[in-house]
Structure 1
Amino acid sequence: MSDIQQLVYASRATFQSADNGGGVEPEVARILMQSRRNNPRRGLVGALYYGDGCFFQCLEGPQAEIDTLYGQLMKDARHRDLKVLRRQFITGTSFAGWSMKYVPAASDVQTLLALHGKERFDPYAFDNELLDAMVTLLHHRAEEGLNPMPPAAGRARAGTPVPAVQPAPAPRRSLGVRLAWVAAAIVVVALAVLALR
């Protein structure tokens, strides 16, 4: 059995969001810098979304490292009300090129919420279908080639999901193509859920 786990959790920010003209919230930028510095040596990868005062993070890596990091996150004063939304073993990582991919408050997230009848980003109220769709969206955004982590220094240890070379950025897709992809992913998830019933 694989030792690689996926942990998806939500939390609420304890800081006031700054009006920075649509840029990255300064406190979120600090979190990203720390993650991108520390996660490669732990063999962890993932993606982070921040919206409406809530964090939504998907982490992937060795179980022991996930446990250690989650313990540290529970003590981090920048957020509260941590809630594990999903924790499962996986066969391999989906964010292998990212120590921490940041997904900005993008229109495709707003479209996804609207498709599920949500007006605000509140991951505490996500059902399994919306949780699956949000994780799929994070994977898709990671595949777009934005914010890759730097190449690994020296040689990566066996099993560590760190690329030896930095991936080339993928071309930016139009909003229409991205929305069509999100809609297709939602249909696939819905069909999978129906097949399990």
Structure 2
Amino acid sequence: MQQLCYVSQSKSKKADLLSDLTNILSEARNFNTLNQINGVLYFSDGYFFQCLEGDAEKLKMLLEKLYKDPRHENIRLFEIKDIEVQKFSEWSMKYVSKRSDIQVLCQRMGFDEFKPYEFEQHHVDLFLNELVQQEQEAA
């Protein structure tokens, strides 16, 4: 089993953003459920940050699909990790919108705002832990 994370920029016009996000989530949840992929999508300030977990071949297939998606561009892939335990096993695709807790984390990591293209792998790991922690606190 593997985990992959990436960041990309939204190409959606402001007027179309909510509709595009709704469609992205619906498509992701359907595809991921069928392919036993789990993950989380964070969107803020025009940037997508997504973490996906599942079978390596199915993740590769999904990544190829993502590269062709016209709703975003400039995909930057972070380290693909072999994992034994999923962080997001409960979510076919959890959506997290802009939150002040994330802003605080970004500031602790040395960023004045959410700048995922400047993340290094240790930032990604901290960011994922924050997303998991927020969900556990909400439960």
Same fold (TM over 0.5): yes
Query: Are residues 142 and 59 of structure 1, via their aligned partners in 2, closer, same or farther at CA, if it must alter by over 3 Å?
Result: farther
1:29 pairs with 2:22: yes
Contact 1:103 1:141 (C-alpha < 8 Å) held by counterparts: no
Q: Decide which of 12, 16, 36 is 1:15's aligned counterpart.
A: 12
Identity rate of aligned residues, in percent?
36
Larger radius of gyration: 1
Contact 1:49 1:103 (C-alpha < 8 Å) held by counterparts: yes
**Aligned AA (1:27):** D
Residue equivalent to 2:110: 117
Contact 2:79 2:121 (C-alpha < 8 Å) held by counterparts: no
Distance 2:28 2:137 in 1: 20
Q: Using the TM superposition, give the Cα deviation of residue 92 of structure 1 relative to its aligned residue in structure 2, in angstroms.
A: 2.2
Once the two structures are superposed, residues 69-119 of structure 1 have per-residue CA deviations (whole angstroms, 9 ceiling, x without a partner) of 000000000001111112110002111111000111011101101112212
**Aligned AA (2:97):** P
Output the TM-score relative to the length of structure 2. Answer: 0.92
Query: Are residues 42 and 139 of structure 1, via their aligned partners in 2, closer, same or farther at CA, if it must alter by over 3 Å?
Result: same
Aligned length: 139
**Aligned AA (1:49):** Y
Distance 1:14 1:31 in 2: 13
Task: Give matches, 1:64-103, under 5 Å.
Answer: 64-103=57-96
Once the two structures are superposed, residues 132-190 of structure 1 have per-residue CA deviations (whole angstroms, 9 ceiling, x without a partner) of 11111122234346xxxxxxxxxxxxxxxxxxxxxxxx2xxxxxxxxxxxxxxxxxxxx
Larger helix proportion of the pair: 2
RMSD between aligned residues: 1.7
SS in 2 for 1:133: helix
Q: Using the TM superposition, give the Cα deviation of residue 33 of structure 1 relative to its aligned residue in structure 2, in angstroms.
A: 1.1
Larger strand proportion of the pair: 2
4+ residue runs of structure 1 moved beyond 6 angstroms?
A: none
Output the TM-score relative to the length of structure 1. Answer: 0.66
Distance 1:49 1:40 in 2: 19
Distance 2:11 2:113 in 1: 18
Which segment drifts farther, 10-19 or 68-77?
A: 10-19
Distance 1:129 1:17 in 2: 32
